[in-house]
Chain A
């Protein structure tokens, strides 16, 4: 009798403890952690983790639904251009857009010291046929494009993941338009919400780097609104 009671009790407690949905709607996001980690750098760099801080979320941080322990970005992907040239690999093309036009709607928040680097209409760069090579990530293309065109770009790398976090483009940095501002990226109209070092490009992809002034809400990347299921 006593034993049965004990089992029942354990079962009851288990029920209570394990109730609660573990729904995985991708776009997971945990502001605190990332933040207290100043996640920026790492924030959800791994494809397989949902660790994204609110700020990182906005700024090409990672998120996702399921997967295995994140691995560092492979070196081969980071040297795609050399590898491609060496191996006579195919050249692919993508479209790149870099814009911070949302700042124009938030001039009262904008750091006045940066006025001279704010481009007209917020357009930093736009190109229809940007070359890239097999294995290139969104970040690789950004790095190459900005360098080739003399555009300032600053990033921080998380050493353990070799994943980059973009802090500023064209001298416009996160937080320059208030605490909810920074750079996010889209591919083919959707926010991947993980680190740009991990997004492997395909021929014809359309890349957009967009500055948000409201944690993504002003550019369609609002965490609450998004219901993106990570396609793994």
Chain B
């Protein structure tokens, strides 16, 4: 009898190990939380319940407004019926009453609103008749408040992969490049000559601003100069982090500084468990969160704490990061694409031509780290990834992978300036597995050997 039990136990153990292997990486990161008996999803539940109760009438506001909406929406928390609808009504009503002018000097107000509306799937180009993106197209207005302007403008444009509108009459037209350059230019070199990190004034980097810069720049980490600044920023955070994963800003240990670092690390696919563990010290049993360890419940801290947990949970489960709302864009009827579990954003959505799904080649190749070059005259596209070279010509059904001819179902074609290719080419050329989920109209691309998520 014993031997049978032993054998059964062995089999169960081994199969559990095999099944859990792809997830072992994630499991290890949770050790810190497990050891501290921290259950992220339970905490999200409790804090979100507190928040919907306390922010019973969300409206345009820095507290009791967008950040609460962001945390609730991005954590997938349960909300009362019509909670987001009522918020949206309040937004529209205020925008209308102010003719779309929320501020004279602080354009991050628009960015904040864009983030919240995108998180709940609303159209930011027509909110109460206002195009919120247009406000941010005035670069001089965006930067008037200092670095927070470009940080949040960048986050706002990128959250929904929005193009920056070209607006007549602005002195300097905002571009993503200008915003990135402004931010990079503010990098701090401290008193000891060490470069890295950001703050409001120039002296020494602080966790909050550095964290937020990293959040905004995370999308551009493929650029060498941005990547270098991100690395140095992480180094600065390491230097100012307390042993327990917390931070002091201007001499006071507080929860919001930890929040910004958690969100930054999660966006960069870096484990922030130690910071999450530190943040937990600020939680009250009723779900509210304190600003300082010994202080009272604080609404700002609570709103931020929730979205930090949402960011971290997304990291653990390999979902789109907090501010990458391509997954919200996917609520419409477009064909969606996920790559290793995360939704991709496109300028041109995939199309279905005679039952064949065509996807934007550039967006997917770049997401997979491949280089693309375009030869205008010959209308030829070349993609190189590792040792694979893919060549195709517009209108031609034949593609070449490392010189070998591959017949596609439909020719590569250009739709709205995007080169579209059949999905099969993606799977053949990039060593991926491609599945099509008919009901949700989703193309699921996964690395070979990786369990498909969704």
- Shortest distance between the CB of B268 and any CB in chain A (Å): 17
Are B251 and A33 touching (Cβ within 8 A)? no
Q: Using known A-B contacts A13-B35, A33-B208, A175-B106, determine if residue A46 contacts B257 with beta carbons closer than 8 Å.
A: no
Contact, CB under 8 Å: B209 / A173: no
* CB-based contact A158/B146 at 8 Å: no
B244: CB under 8 A from chain A? yes
Q: Is the CB of A49 within 8 A of B298?
A: yes
Which one, B35, B36, B297, B300, contacts A33 given CB within 8 A? Answer: B300
The 8 A CB mask of A15-41 against B (1 = contact, 0 = none) is: 011111111110111111111111111
Q: Are A167 and B105 in contact (CB under 8 A)?
A: yes
Q: Which of A63-71, A79-87, A100-108, A132-140 contacts B (4 or more CB under 8 A)?
A: A63-71
**A46 cross-chain contacts in B, Cβ below 8 A:** 298-299
Q: Are B301 and A33 in contact (CB under 8 A)?
A: yes
Interface of chain A, main secondary structure: loop
Of A50-58, A120-128, A142-150, which binds chain B?
A50-58
Shortest A116–chain B CB gap in Å is 17
- Among residues of A, the one whose C-beta sits closest to the C-beta of B280 is A17
- Find the B residue at minimum CB distance from A50: B291
- Which of A22, A160, A175, A176 touches B292 (beta carbons < 8 Å)? A22
Contact of B200 among A22, A45, A51, A54 (CB under 8 A): A54
* B242 interfacial by beta-carbon distance below 8 Å: yes
Whole-angstrom distance from the CB of A28 to the nearest CB of chain B?
Answer: 4
Residues of A near B319 (CB, < 8 A) are none
Asked if B244 and A16 make an inter-chain contact with CB atoms under 8 angstroms apart, the answer reads yes
B206 contacts which chain A residues (CB < 8 A)?
A: 31-32
Chain B minimum-CB-distance residue to A54? B200
Q: Is B15 an interface residue (CB 8 A)?
A: no
- The CA of A37 and the CA of B242, in the complex, are separated in Å by 25
**Interface assignment of B109: CB less than 8 Å from any CB of chain A:** yes
In chain A, positions 152-188 with a C-beta closer than 8 Å to chain B are: 154, 158-161, 167-168, 173-176, 178-180
A208 CB–B CB distance under 8 Å: no
Looking at the complex, which one of B104, B298, B299 makes contact with A167 (CB distance below 8 Å)? B104
Residues on A with C-beta less than 8 A from B63 are: 37, 39, 41-42, 45, 158, 160-161
Contact assessment for B211 and A32 in the assembled complex, using a CB-CB cutoff below 8 Å: yes
| Segment from B54-62, B352-360, B409-417 that makes contact with A | B54-62
Interface residue B30 (Cβ < 8 Å from any Cβ of A) = no
Contact A50 B209 (CB under 8 A): no
Report yes or no: B62 in contact with A42, Cβ–Cβ below 8 A. yes
Taken together as a complex, chains A and B put the C-alpha atoms of A64 and B207 apart, in Å, by 20
Q: Judging by beta carbons under 8 Å apart, are A10 and B35 in contact?
A: yes
Q: Return B306 CB to nearest CB of chain A, in Å.
A: 13
Whole-angstrom distance between the Cβ of A88 and the nearest chain B Cβ = 36
Given contacts A36-B148, A65-B294, A174 and B260 within 8 Å (CB-CB) = no
Does A197 have its Cβ within 8 Å of any Cβ on chain B? no
A13-B35, A33-B259, A33-B304 known; A179 and B146 CB under 8 Å? yes
Question: 21 A-B contacts, Cβ less than 8 Å apart?
Answer: A17-B36, A23-B253, A25-B251, A30-B249, A32-B207, A33-B301, A36-B108, A36-B148, A36-B151, A36-B212, A40-B106, A41-B62, A41-B63, A43-B62, A50-B298, A51-B291, A69-B296, A158-B61, A159-B64, A174-B145, A180-B200
Nearest 6 pairs of A and B residues by beta carbon: A32-B208, A179-B146, A160-B64, A22-B293, A33-B256, A28-B252
Residues of B within 8 A of A (CB): 35-36, 55, 57, 59, 61-64, 66-67, 104-106, 108-109, 112, 144-148, 151-152, 199-201, 206-209, 211-212, 242-246, 249-254, 256-257, 259-260, 277-278, 281, 288, 291-301, 303-304
